[in-house]
Structure 1
Amino acid sequence: MQLRLILNNISVIEIRGESSVDVTDITCDSRQCGTGSLFFAVPGHLSDGHHYIDEAIRAGSRCVICERDIPEQAGVTFVRVADSRRAMSRAAKNFFGNPSNELTVVGVTGTNGKTTVTCLVEAVLKAGGLNPGVIGTIEWRYGETAVPSRNTTPESLDLQRILRTMADGGVTHVVMEVSSHAIDMHRVADIDFDLGVFTNLSPEHLDYHGTMENYYAVKKSFFQHLPKESAAVINDDDPWGKRLTREIGGSITTFGMDKTCHVSPTDVELGLTGLKSRLETPRGVLTLESPLMGAFNLSNIMAAVGTCLALKIDNEYIVKGIETAGPVPGRLERVPADEDIYIFVDYAHTEDALRNVLETLRVFAERRLITVFGCGGERDKTKRPLMGRTAAELSDCVVITSDNPRGEDPQAIISDIERGVDVAKIDTALSPGRAGTEQRGYLVIEDRAEAIDWAVHSARTGDIILIAGKGHEDYQIVGDRRLPFDDRIAAARALASRHSRSVS
């Protein structure tokens, strides 16, 4: 495709060189450049793409879009714009032929619940004989294709490439998670969404947004920029959701516990094996069963039902899809155990998510609720003491450990968590050497595998163990290393060790 076509509807300050040059690929990673590549020099938090322009040109790039006045080089076209990232989003849409226009696209945004809602909607669409694709925290997938994700929402270039692949592969609907970072960084600015879904809002990413008001404003902007004919599905139980409904207007489907919502529940039964409920909807009552646990998952189910109603999916397929949708990887995922203990792995890495999961499990704990968790490094530090407080309030035993420390000192992160622990409500006398004495309190075991092992060996009949924070992740980031680590595998190994000791 010629460069001039890629630049369609992009505000250009200056072009130096030929605009008719052919472009074979577009990228913002100089390592991916080849002959005929268009390179975007994008300023970032950790590095600046302008520093890699020469590397991109040496690799074969003959076109560069940048924000600065770069010295001319023979045979290279430089395009100067005010915002490289914003220009990249529009260029990607042009280069890949606006694939979202060929699809029905649903964007799910909110602090928690995005992955579960996308999986539920996917199951309903499949039940209705449609061919959905999903883009999210775990992976992007359609048909027999599944590719692990590195970000909740990919960069705009990757996103448009994925959408083109899906459109060419016969996908009818795409359900994607939309993070606040993706909205703010224009990754989704040039996708034609048919529907936006708001799950909830609670403190997260405040290291990036600064305040909850700023965080909300970014989420709100997603809905404000939806095409006029698009619709929204909003959680009315969430105060930010109520405000969003008031402020954006348009075609809105609400869900929540209040009977005034478009989707609301009656006759709710919550258990360790799932939930049952009747949902009142504008299209009649839906009687549902699901293997998902907890009131927060009832909210996720209502979000999915509201979404599918807005998409005009028949009731029978909604019921079938919700009932057949299995547990989402790393979301209150149970680790099989032969003994009378329950072990769950969950992705909860915010105070609100941790509280939801602990309140769900607290009801079913016949004896102790043991929580193993940590907080990620180089991420919002304000949530660390909040999560420590919540874990201590709702658990009998808490093991504070390492999560993904990245470039931070794990002990410093743990100290931040400990500041939230109310020692008046939970004892500090837990000792690794006293495992199995049915003690209550908290302790610190920095090594995550050892922390999980302690919890499993300490558990007795009727205890529930929650391993929180990493969920589906199969790695641990320590420094700049991405090490293999899976909470589910670590728990299974600890169970095997526990069993071998009991029979020896």
Structure 2
Amino acid sequence: MKLFKLMEDVSFTSNLPLEKIDEVEIKDISYNSRSCKEGFIFVALVGETVDGHKFAKNAYDNGARVFLLQKGIESSKYAMELPNDTVKLFVEDTRISLSRISHNFFGQPSNSLKVIGVTGTKGKTTITNYIATVLNESGVNTGVIGTNGTFFNGTYEVTENTTPESYELHRIFRKMLDNGVTCVSMEVSSGGIMQNRVEDVDFDVAIFSNLSPDHIGPKEHPTFEHYLQCKARLFKMAKHGIINTDDDYAKDIINAATCDVETFGIENNAGLTANNIRYSKEIDSLGVSFDCNTKEETFPCFICSPGTFSIYNALAVIAVCKYLDVKREIMIDALKSAKVSGRVEVLPILPYATVIVDYAHNGVSLENILQTLKNYEHERLICLFGSVGGRTEIRRKELGDVAARECDLAILTADNPDFEDPMNVINDIAESFEGSSCEVIKIANREEAIKHTIRNAKEGDMIVLAGKGHEKYQLINGEKLPFDEIAIAKDEAKKVIEEKQLLA
């Protein structure tokens, strides 16, 4: 692609006269100097801890001769170190510009897709996957982008972030479009909005699930208000908004929206509501039935996921289906079997106890699942969990407070400790249990903690392995080491059952 075509709608200045660079050919874009090659344009991104301008010379050594740089004293210093045979383009914000040139480079693919963006503190992964399940069943070829990765037409790709960097996002859109995908259901994180990753995505629908304090800290959002404002921005980008009116911050989202809006809820007046809620328990699932009410009709629904939060997720999906004119019968049938890996996933591994894997990793999420499980018959409510090392320390107290209040037994262990001593995190969490009736066991090694929990399970126990969910790694000392929580639990349960049979 010609450089001028790539830079369409981007305001920039250059170290060379424009007539000297109008025929420059760009083969690809990179914001990682190590992946640069001849014909690439290197985009220097400015992050919280790393300034990409520092690696401009490395990008040059790897073949790049065109550089997109951010105006400023520091960037000017690094730009001056580049040899004279380079084209230097200066912009106000390289992140915003990366979004635009990626959109251009891949042929503006989101304009040709129906893009559904889901934002909120909880429920994004479940809602996006449920939407894809239902739409694919209805004949609409739908891909997914989010925490669990990218899925379409039976293919899978790992994503580094819930919402990928703008270049990756538009590359994925292009790939999906070229392979017959017509609709994309994607998670839109506050970080993705804050870092301008979705700046040039053509959103048809935006969904707001809920909002609670999270991702607030030195390397994330400075305040809750900033977090809220980032979420609300999605509803300035979309054509149609679907909003949970029961959430405390729904009015803020609605007031900020420039798109047309519809609502769903259980407690408050909304365009789409649910009532007559019933719970059910099977060996491989915990489900909930409810009646869905629209302005035109009422019809029964069932989802094999427990609790009120699951009903909210289902209502968001139903609202999308109504907006896209999906047949009601197809939607109801597809919802019955919709599941998401690592999200309230019941493992049918012990005949006498219920084992659940869930991604709950903050206080609100953990409280939701633990309180929900109390609606189902059980003896002890047991939760195995930890908290990430090196950041969001307030989350430790929130998690501990919830478990101390809701559980009969808590097994405190590691959860992506990174460079921090897991016992330091565990001890921080343990402070919440002083004066609590909840029993506490500390086992720093997560694999050993899981094995201990499975081996010591009793008749009627309800066990939650919380925090990892779908993740297949442990972040330790900067490395993502293979770690399959579900496989560990299954293997240990198999051993326990075999031993019990030998003793019988």
Unaligned runs of 5+ residues in structure 1 are: 428-440
Counterpart Cα distance in 2 of 1:391 and 1:245? 34
Q: Residue type of the partner of 1:231?
A: H
1:297 aligns with 2:310: yes
TM-score when normalising by structure 1: 0.93
SS at match of 1:420: helix
| Other-structure match for 2:474 | 476
Q: Residue type of the partner of 1:28?
A: Y
1:246 CA displacement? 3.5
Gap change, CA 1:379 and 1:314, over 3 Å in 2: farther
| Other-structure match for 2:109 | 99
Counterpart Cα distance in 2 of 1:315 and 1:57? 56
1:51 aligns with 2:63: no
- Contact between 2:203 and 2:237, CA under 8 Å: does it hold in 1? no
1:285 aligns with 2:283: no
1:309-330 superposed Cα distances (whole Å, 9 cap, x missing partner): 22232322322221232x2100
| Other-structure match for 1:488 | 486
SS at match of 2:203: coil
Q: Residue type of the partner of 1:315?
A: R
Among candidates 386, 389, 396, match of residue 377 of structure 1: 389
- Contact between 2:67 and 2:88, CA under 8 Å: does it hold in 1? yes
SS at match of 1:375: coil
SS at match of 1:446: coil
- More moved, 137-146 vs 107-116: 137-146
| Other-structure match for 2:69 | 66
Among candidates 144, 156, 177, match of residue 154 of structure 2: 144
1:378-405 superposed Cα distances (whole Å, 9 cap, x missing partner): 3322111011010111110001110001
1:234-279 superposed Cα distances (whole Å, 9 cap, x missing partner): 1111101233223426421111113621111122112233111110
Q: Residue type of the partner of 1:294?
A: G
1:365 CA displacement? 4.3
- Contact between 2:308 and 2:372, CA under 8 Å: does it hold in 1? yes
SS at match of 2:117: strand
- Contact between 1:271 and 1:294, CA under 8 Å: does it hold in 2? no
1:32 CA displacement? 1.2
| Other-structure match for 2:6 | 6
Counterpart Cα distance in 2 of 1:199 and 1:462? 33
Gap change, CA 1:253 and 1:394, over 3 Å in 2: same
1:499 CA displacement? 2.3
| Other-structure match for 2:208 | 198
Gap change, CA 1:15 and 1:221, over 3 Å in 2: farther
1:74 CA displacement? 3.4
TM-score when normalising by structure 2: 0.93
Paired residue total: 486
Where do 1:97-496 residues align within 5 Å? Answer: 97-207=107-217, 208-226=220-238, 230-248=239-257, 250-258=259-267, 260-272=269-281, 273-325=286-338, 327-421=339-433, 423-426=434-437, 441-496=439-494
Q: CA RMSD in A?
A: 1.5
1:107-136 superposed Cα distances (whole Å, 9 cap, x missing partner): 000111001101111112112211001101
Gap change, CA 1:378 and 1:310, over 3 Å in 2: farther
1:94-114 superposed Cα distances (whole Å, 9 cap, x missing partner): 111100010100000011100
SS at match of 1:224: helix
- Contact between 2:117 and 2:188, CA under 8 Å: does it hold in 1? yes
Taking every aligned residue pair, what percent have the same amino acid on both sides? 35
- More moved, 176-185 vs 136-145: 136-145
Counterpart Cα distance in 2 of 1:166 and 1:15? 37
- Contact between 2:254 and 2:261, CA under 8 Å: does it hold in 1? yes
- Contact between 1:126 and 1:321, CA under 8 Å: does it hold in 2? no
- More moved, 199-208 vs 487-496: 487-496
Counterpart Cα distance in 2 of 1:354 and 1:88? 37
1:429-471 superposed Cα distances (whole Å, 9 cap, x missing partner): xxxxxxxxxxxx1121111111111211221110011000000
Q: Residue type of the partner of 1:446?
A: A
Counterpart Cα distance in 1 of 2:253 and 2:91? 33
Counterpart Cα distance in 2 of 1:365 and 1:390? 20
Counterpart Cα distance in 2 of 1:135 and 1:242? 27
Among candidates 63, 75, 78, match of residue 85 of structure 2: 75
Q: Residue type of the partner of 2:359?
A: Y
- Contact between 1:286 and 1:319, CA under 8 Å: does it hold in 2? no
1:26 CA displacement? 0.4
Counterpart Cα distance in 2 of 1:188 and 1:490? 37
SS at match of 2:263: strand
